[in-house]
Structure 1
């Protein structure tokens, strides 16, 4: 018997035994299932109740530590943080969502979805609360991810790629994709200390190269910077911070100083001269493809990605850095912000679809203003896949016959009709699902 079959049999026996004891479970015929989801306490997260993640846990009745970072809330079936069933019945409470899909495969989606993805959600759904810059990082494509998982699973724990989509919940700031070549060269000439750190030979070669070779020269400049002597890095950071303190109206220097305040001796601080600076308002979104550099700086967001925890890092982190691999992985293709900001498609008066160019996931935002929420029903789009719903704002209301609560996460089985009703106050939620 295959390992997966044995696991399924054990879960079914456990579910059957619990059902027999409690006499409360007849079949897995549920329309809405509450979930308990794991928080991650990475050091870059906002602390205590200042964190969106911390506030979610507090709303759920969890006591939080005001001195502890609450960086991420994970929703899904990833092995490092699978969501668990709660508040349903003694026979199912405490089982992971993965267990449910193994025992009842029809809950993952229709046959096409099950054949493609098996018993696990192909996406990982998150809330992030960023208190200080994350690492300069890229996520490998599927081929490289498989190789890294086979050779170095202690650093790369998944054989999967990790394209990702972020939707701002509050004002959100990030670095992403390389700036146009002329902008990078312009910064190296404008900020003399930065240009001197790169070196005149590299800078001249980059500036005078023809268009087909500019990506190669960008790679040389970026890779050379990441391997500079620490004493040269620290001295240049100090010089540029001093310049920022004098020229307080320079937005790029202000950004440099904001990063340097957290990492005064880290080469990753210079990434702001190479990567586009994104500033999002709530509801705005951007998509990061594989092999593309990025770094979140501050704010709170909804995030979704292919189900993976693979990260290649090269700065702004105490975690393992793989500088040479990062430099070899990136494409070095500049991209203007309008090319990777993702505009949602308005489905109707209260739903917006965020659909990036990947198969594994999409997100629907459900937003109903305070004056329009009471006394009406709001039908949701019927899906052929499993979906996860996180409620961000809600005074009261229900989905079908299940009461909704602010900061709660729900699993919605596929193929059913769902409708919101009895809403009071502003309603805001995000629903993640597998592409149809």
Structure 2
């Protein structure tokens, strides 16, 4: 079992306070958007097996996370540290287990994060596995540089994801029924939105959603910016159901994604509730702190609310134009004390343990790799104390006992 040192990413949409508050450190004034836990090459966790048996009293997290955005949080930065990715590469079967290597290959198939949204993230979708493989191979054949701003497919993997709220958490997920979207647009009383409302009412569901999203994303930029400005002002006056869109427009003035967002369901998660996001489902996180887990991929196609590249033809090929009712997940309790967030994905499995004072120790031994993340209290894993934000990597098959009090999120795989 290895204590992890993890990188906090400084994306502009990040909250300046949420992650520092969880870690118990002073804010730096800079955004702290995501703390990555895993072996992703962009920011792999680090570990030091020579010192990982020391008890964490919170001082290490205080020292490192206090450095601010882009800094480490967790075990410190001793000279013996090495990336988790390098440890796995050295002996995949020992770290991941033979079954996981056979099923997913010689790499950790998930990425776990603490995600803190202080302002809306981009409106986006992810491809399914076949689409990702085809798109990646196509861009490789075309010679599109891996770091090119217009590249859509960074790898050949899909990117299903699950977000579990630690605080009230707002997001957008899946298309509303066209009639409901038409009513929302019409309620703004903006003349230039009337044709979109009419289209939503006049066509079958799939055709209506496709035609309106296409029209919004391909409209004359100056005309669309004027429409967004007028719609944002109306949303601000009306409040209520329109309040999220006024907030979005405040952060992304004139962006066509503001209108596209009105086609989607607004969702508010309460702490402990989660949302699963499969392939082709448009979504955006708006505000809040959560634990996120995803398949290990960077493949994102954006619909708006971003200065980054929006490839409209490729986006329209990936989006699933169907009405979806957001499926809010609540953990399913078991007799072992594990509360599981059930999803149809094998690359990751997220669960939670809430340990009350005096509770019996829990056996977490499993055939696959695990990352255990503390979000509250002072639990202990095999004698290692964890403060909020502290985490450990557990190789496959290692005997693992959880005790003490607090909350632990467990990320593993289905093998």
2:300 is equivalent to residue 279 of structure 1: no
8 Å CA contact 1:38–1:73 kept in 2: the answer is yes
Please give the alpha-carbon distance, in whole angstroms, between the structure 2 residues aligned to 1:268 and 1:390.
34
Query: 1:363–1:137: structure 2 CA closer, same or farther, 3 Å change rule?
Result: same
8 Å CA contact 1:285–1:343 kept in 2: the answer is yes
Unaligned runs of 5+ in 1: 1-31
User: What's the offset of the Cα at 1:111?
Assistant: 2.2
Query: 1:92–1:110: structure 2 CA closer, same or farther, 3 Å change rule?
Result: farther
CA offset digits 1:49-68 (Å, max 9, x no partner): x132x445665xxxx76231
Question: Which residue pairs with 1:373 in the alignment?
Answer: 357
Please give the alpha-carbon distance, in whole angstroms, between the structure 1 residues aligned to 2:3 and 2:338.
22
2:111 is equivalent to residue 120 of structure 1: no
After superposition, residues 181-330 of structure 1 pair within 5 angstroms as 181-193=178-190, 196-198=191-193, 200=195, 203-209=197-203, 213-248=204-239, 251-330=240-319
8 Å CA contact 2:168–2:269 kept in 1: the answer is yes
User: What's the offset of the Cα at 1:141?
Assistant: 1.6
Question: Which residue pairs with 1:433 in the alignment?
Answer: 412
Task: Give the match's secondary structure for 1:314.
Answer: strand
Task: Give the match's secondary structure for 2:173.
Answer: strand
Query: 1:281–1:144: structure 2 CA closer, same or farther, 3 Å change rule?
Result: same
- RMSD of aligned C-alpha atoms? 2.3
8 Å CA contact 1:163–1:306 kept in 2: the answer is yes
Q: Alignment partner for residue 51 of structure 1, among 4, 10, 18?
A: 18
Please give the alpha-carbon distance, in whole angstroms, between the structure 2 residues aligned to 1:241 and 1:203.
17
TM-score under structure 2 length normalisation: 0.85
User: What's the offset of the Cα at 1:324?
Assistant: 2.6
Query: 1:208–1:244: structure 2 CA closer, same or farther, 3 Å change rule?
Result: closer
Unaligned runs of 5+ in 2: 53-77
User: What's the offset of the Cα at 1:323?
Assistant: 2.5
8 Å CA contact 2:170–2:269 kept in 1: the answer is yes
8 Å CA contact 2:338–2:352 kept in 1: the answer is yes
Give the structure with the larger helix fraction.
Answer: 1
8 Å CA contact 1:342–1:356 kept in 2: the answer is no
Please give the alpha-carbon distance, in whole angstroms, between the structure 2 residues aligned to 1:238 and 1:288.
30
Question: Which residue pairs with 2:98 in the alignment?
Answer: 111
* Aligned residue pairs, count: 380
Query: 1:245–1:218: structure 2 CA closer, same or farther, 3 Å change rule?
Result: closer
Question: Which residue pairs with 1:79 in the alignment?
Answer: 41
CA offset digits 1:222-245 (Å, max 9, x no partner): 110112222322322332333234
User: What's the offset of the Cα at 1:43?
Assistant: 0.7
TM-score under structure 1 length normalisation: 0.81
User: What's the offset of the Cα at 1:138?
Assistant: 0.6
Question: Which residue pairs with 2:73 in the alignment?
Answer: none
Query: 1:384–1:221: structure 2 CA closer, same or farther, 3 Å change rule?
Result: same
Q: Which has the larger radius of gyration?
A: 1
Question: Which residue pairs with 1:353 in the alignment?
Answer: 340
2:8 is equivalent to residue 34 of structure 1: no
CA offset digits 1:172-213 (Å, max 9, x no partner): 0000100112211222333331xx43453x64444233xxx4
Task: Give the match's secondary structure for 1:186.
Answer: helix
8 Å CA contact 1:167–1:303 kept in 2: the answer is yes
